[in-house]
Amino acid sequence: MWPLRRRLSSASTVGGQETRKGLYLRLKFQERDNLVGEELFDVHPSKPWIASVSAGKPPTLRVWNYEDGHQVAVTLEDAINTYGAKFLGETDKVVVRTDKNMSIYEILPYSAFQMKEIKRVRTWSVTYTDLSKWTVHSSAQSVLHSENENSILILFCDFTTGYNFSMCCTEKIVTMMCFHPFESHIFATVHENWTINVWSADTKTHKTVTLQTLEATGEVTSVRFCTKPQKSLIITGHQSGKLQVWDYQRNECMTTLDAHKQAVVHAFFHPHLPCILSASEDGTIMAWNDSNYQLIKTLCSGLEGLSQSVLCRTDSLLVLPCEQDMCFITVEGVSPEPDFEERGKMEVGHVSAEGDERLQFEKIDVQRIKQLEMELSTVRGEKKALEEGFESERQIHEHKIKELETQLSHVRVERETLGERFERSQLEHERLKGMHSESAKQVEKEKRNLVIERDALKERLKKSNIRVQELECELEMVGGARERSERAVGMPEGVPKLDMHPMAFTEFSLDEMRIATNDFHDDCKLEEQRDGCVYIGKLTSAVIKRLKFINLRAENQPVQVTRELVSLLKSLRHPHLHMLLGVCYEGNCLVYEHMTNGNVKDWMSFSRGSQKGFLPWYIRLRIMAQVAQGLSFLHSQQSQRGGGPIVHRAVKPENILA
């Protein structure tokens, strides 16, 4: 316990009033280092805790144990303006109101009164701009606040089962408010026009109704409900120093007291003693009889600035912050207990007096007196039995309370252990998550590398295929040239031969063409086609095609062999295309490789027993595939006119050479 600061003597009341018999009152002072400063603070109803919010940026919520000096704190993130902190009933939770939201913080304890840390457990976003007027119930988890900027709105919130609320609007600005100590849905508000409204809130319908409206005689500076059960009383203190006691159910002012010379800062019913206490700005504290409202005692605290003090919600402790110390003022007293034995004697005396009177005047029966004495003895026995029963029940309750406190301590230890296990599991989860993320990144990197390798292999395969086709084409061309050379070896010695390289292109004169075809004699003619005649030439395995005309745009229009046409035909090199060996511009002739096996039509027109024989189906299919490859090659080339693909326009068996 802290050292007693001082004990001031209390003077008897003046004005001829007598001190109530058997009631002893005194002020008890205790002091502690001021850890709150000039900040708004709140006192816990049942534990030695004080909660306050600093004015820093960002603000800090602190809870201070004023018995052992221990404190815990937490930073209020994203908060600019705060309206203080208040304990939520008798729980270990604190309600903090900022300019953006309303949050509930829970104090995690080591034991019953020792604090460990503060942790935010819930937050609600609100849109109200001015919530400087708000209060919290002393035991229930209810919050009451008002908003006075655009519309005068009063909002009642119940956090027992969730965020249940009800609201109402008034016409006058609210200056202060308080809860009923036992019925948490009833509260009172004081307005700027000196009226006091008593409300009843219903969270199911979200509506609040007015029970009574009281008209005060001046500016109200303090309002409090009576802490005695079954009494519908409200006491108000005024700027003028007056006190008024109201019965709000009957809407009646019970009394008006000219109490103080200066403004009243606190007026309340003492929770245990049969008196009303009032305090003024000059430090004077007065005690009044709560039955006849007579002054009992005047207690001089000797302290000024009580307007800055905070009254605990149990109406039993007054906390005043000084420059360096925090002063705790408690009004102590001893209330007279009923003397059942003296009352019994008085009853016996009354009975004896009545008996004597009857003996004197009416000769009352003595048996009646004995009966009354027996009844009195029975009443005393019942009183004693009730006292013993009450004492036994009290001991049982104390034992049960100790058991519950032990169980609560065990539960808190288990909760702390589970919290540590949960933190460890979270750390392990984060570690595994990081490992999985690294593995995923590695797999993704390997996948990208494989895709790059696959694309490179595809490109290499494509180039290899092109190179293979080029080599096959060259091979077939070399083979064809070799075959032509071999065929030229067996030609008659009288036929003139021309020196032609297998892969060379030769320009012939008209005389050479005439010599090779015996002046285009019919004996050398192989066939006569629509666009010209084909001759077997006396060259190195070659045929000569002399063009007449091609019906492209007009009938019988002669076609002239030009260098552009020859250049295009020379560029068409493919294994399955007839190779152009030379040209004669004078005779309008094209020199091609001679295919000794004829064409497909010749092979297909003979019977199975003919000289050339029958073409099997697998050979026919191979010829069809090779024709398709040759046409595909032509379609991929550009013609002289328009730049489009080259179209053959005469694909038929007689034009397919074997």
Whether residue 20 has pLDDT greater than 50? no
Which pLDDT score, from 0 to 100, does residue 314 have?
65
- What is the mean pLDDT of the segment spanning 491-514? 63
**Residue 493 has what pLDDT?**
44
* Distances, alpha carbon 480 to alpha carbons 477, 540, 541, 575, 583, in Å: 5, 12, 10, 9, 19
Per mean pLDDT, which range of 301-305, 477-481, 552-556 is the poorest? Answer: 552-556
User: Mean pLDDT lowest for which of 23-32, 379-388, 411-420?
Assistant: 23-32
End-to-end CA, the chain: 123
Q: Is residue 303, in this structure, part of any structural domain at all? A: no
Tell me the helix, strand and coil percentages in the chain, rounded to 5. 30, 30, 40
Task: Enter the pTM of the model.
Answer: 0.47
Q: Is residue 450 situated within a structural domain? A: yes
Distances (CA, A) of 390 to 344, 403, 415: 20, 20, 36
478 and 603 co-located in one domain: no
In whole angstroms, give the CA distance from residue 95 to residue 113.
19
Asked if 347 and 474 sit in the same domain, the reply is yes
Domain boundary among the residues 64, 95, 127 is at: 127
Tokens of 83: 């309206």
Does residue 201 fall inside a structural domain? Answer: no
**CA 259/CA 246 separation, integer angstroms:** 16
Q: How confident is the model at residue 308 (pLDDT cuts 50, 70, 90)?
A: low
Q: Mean of the pLDDT values across residues 93-107?
A: 82
The arithmetic mean of pLDDT across residues 184-210, rounded, is 86
Please, are residues 280 and 256 in contact by the beta-carbon 8 Å criterion?
Answer: no
The rounded mean pLDDT for the chain is 77
Instruction: Average the pLDDT over 332-352 and give the result.
Output: 51
| 42-to-87, 135, 136, 320, 469 alpha-carbon distances in Å | 7, 10, 10, 11, 94
Which pLDDT score, from 0 to 100, does residue 272 have? Answer: 80
Would residue 586 count as lying in a domain?
Answer: no
pLDDT of amino acid 15: 33
Instruction: Count other C-beta atoms under 10 Å from residue 170's C-beta.
Output: 18
Q: What is the mean pLDDT of residues 561-585?
A: 86
Nearest alpha carbon to residue 63 among 32, 107, 95, 103:
107
Structural domain of 76: 39-127
Q: What is the pLDDT at residue 551?
A: 47
> Considering the domain boundaries, does residue 289 fall inside one?
no
Of 164-168, 393-397, 403-407, give the lowest mean pLDDT range: 164-168
Q: Give the residue from 92, 127, 162 where a domain finishes.
A: 127
Phi, psi of 86 (to 5 degrees): -140, 140
pLDDT of residue 195: 92
Look at residue 113 and tell me if it is in a domain.
yes
288 within domain boundaries: no
Percent of the chain with pLDDT over 70: 71
Say whether pLDDT at 12 is over 90. no
Token pair listed for 502: 């297998």
**425 — pLDDT class (breaks 50, 70, 90):** very high
pLDDT at residue 57 is higher than 70: yes
In a domain, 6, yes or no: no
Q: What is the domain count for the chain?
A: 3
The DSSP code sequence of 328-345 is EEEEEEEPPPP-HHHHHH
pLDDT in tens, 101-145: 778 888 887 665 566 667 776 776 666 555 567 788 777 667 766
Helix (H, G, I), strand (E, B) or coil at 209: strand
Same domain for 469 and 347, yes or no, is yes
pLDDT of 346 strictly over 60: no
Cis bond before residue 558 (omega within 30° of 0)? no
Per-residue pLDDT band at 91 (split at 50, 70, 90): confident
Mean pLDDT of 493-501: 43
**End of a domain among 465, 485, 505?**
485
Q: pLDDT at residue 651 above 60?
A: yes
Per-residue pLDDT at 606: 59
